[in-house]
Amino acid sequence: MKHLLPMVLGTLLFAATPLQADDAALADRLGQLESETQVLRTELQWLREHPVRLPQVEAAPVSMSAPAQTDEDTYTFDQVQAMMTSTAKKYAWTKGDFTVTPYGFLWGNMVYETERSNDGDTTLYVYSPETNGDKAFHLSAQATRLGIDVAGPRLRIFNCAPSGGKVELDFFGSFITENKGSVLLRHAYWEVKDDDFRLLMGQTWDVISPLYPNTIMYSVYWGAGNIGYRRAQLRGERFLKFSDTSLVTLQSSLNVDVVTDFTATDDDIQGDHSAWPLIEGRAAWTVGHRGKGDLPTTVGFSGHIGEQVFDTTIATLPPEFNARTWSCNADLNMPITETFGVHGEFFTGENLGAFLGGILQGVNIATGEPIRATGGWGEVWWDWAPQWQSNVGYTLDDPLDSDLTAASARIYNQAYYANVIYAVTKQFKLGFEVSQWTTLYKDRTPGESTRFEFMGKYGF
């Protein structure tokens, strides 16, 4: 005590002594520290009052398909960085304020189909037996996927929101022989995101129709009722939390107007960029508690509007013509219990080839007119054991018959499917799926095929 008393008195004396002019820098530093401390106290108090939903690492096995984008996935980059540290620390590396985490899937699939489909390794539609009705066996590793997640520093210009990004590749790019698959760019973007907003620039999933069936097939029933793909965009999102049980998500984006029709089938007609961007938007409402273990329901409505330009030397068409593209869509994700739920989507629109709708037909080459189409998909999922998951669904794409004139035009495409997925470990999953496909043609024999697929997927 005899040594403590002089120390306390000295400290009080120092605190009471006025600062001199040459101590201005010290005063500024003390003021900055006090300000930062107040900010940290405010953030801590907010976090205590607004608990957020964190991913469950020990959850039941999830889908083998491309991950669906839902309104519930509104995690901050601080949370992402925490997950990186806890679950992938030995794989991540840092450079200054950036944390880079590599990831990937070693993905192989084996398929037997009773009639050939386009393109076999994955199925978009079934060929007519008049052109190719043989049985086929396929074995592929092109779905193997590699990527990196980047978690960066907070940006003052965006209210100190965390920044980050992603780059992801697979091997479904153009190739001549199947064992020489080339690289396909899936995602490449940067973003700034917190609990209130998100700003993104680069290539990633469309804003419209953001859900995906829980299939083990790489193509997730594109061309058969599931529309939406990836494209370069500038996207803004706003998350409005009206209460603990009500969240509204507003999304919009400016996109490149990708043209897929006739790119490799006809040298007499080619697509080109329009003078204005393709616009997408979505509004979604999430109802129910959003904390850990809760089961909120999300319903969304989305759409797009745009224009495509075509240059042609076909005598029956003008040298250059424009074709409008638009869609109106709805999506629903409704978990009923922790192990059972339903989800699905509906769409209608025209010139949807670039969105993998209209059975990949956007414009009628004979008339230059857009092709209208309506469809969607629905699925029931069930985690019937800790390591076992099953999914049963139906999907349909139905272009308007009168908009199609060629005998080879596809006028109807549907599929029923059921699968079972077994998680050998959290990283290694096996799956088996049976699907029944029917594709109708304008003036050809329908294509009908039963597809059996086995999948092995190892993630890291």
* Cβ neighbours, 10 Å, residue 319: 9
Is residue 15 a part of any domain in this protein?
no
Helix runs in 67-158, H state only: 77-87, 129-132
DSSP state of 208: S
Of the candidates 227, 235, 232, 207, which has an alpha carbon nearest to the alpha carbon of residue 70?
207
| Residue 82 belongs to a domain | yes
Residue 35: phi, psi to the nearest 5?
-65, -45
Cβ contact 327:372 at 8 Å: no
Residue 45 in domain: no
Could you report the per-residue pLDDT of 410-423, keeping only the tens digit for each?
999 999 999 999 99
Lowest mean pLDDT among 79-88, 174-183, 224-233: 79-88
Query: What are 346-404's pLDDT values in tens digits?
Result: 999 999 999 999 999 999 988 999 999 999 999 999 999 999 999 999 999 999 999 99
112 inside domain = yes
| The pLDDT of residue 19 | 35
Residue 275's domain comprises 75-459
SS3 sequence of 24-38: HHHHHHHHHHHHHHH
- Number of structural domains in the chain: 1
Find all residues with CB under 8 Å of 108, minimum gap 6, and list them: 139, 140, 141, 143, 144, 455, 456, 457
Claim: this prediction has a pTM higher than 0.85: no
Instruction: Give the pLDDT band (50/70/90) at residue 85.
Output: very low
Question: Is 26 within the bounds of a domain?
Answer: no
Residue 409 is encoded by which pair of tokens?
A: 């035009």
Distances (CA, A) of 299 to 53, 212, 308, 346, 408: 19, 14, 30, 12, 37
Query: Any idea what the CATH number is for the domain that residue 82 is in?
Result: 2.40.160.10
> By C-alpha distance, which of 251, 333, 249, 242 is closest to 296?
333
Residue 134 lies in a domain: yes
Q: What is the pLDDT of residues 59-69, one digit of tens each?
A: 333 333 333 44
Is it the case that residue 38 has pLDDT exceeding 70? no
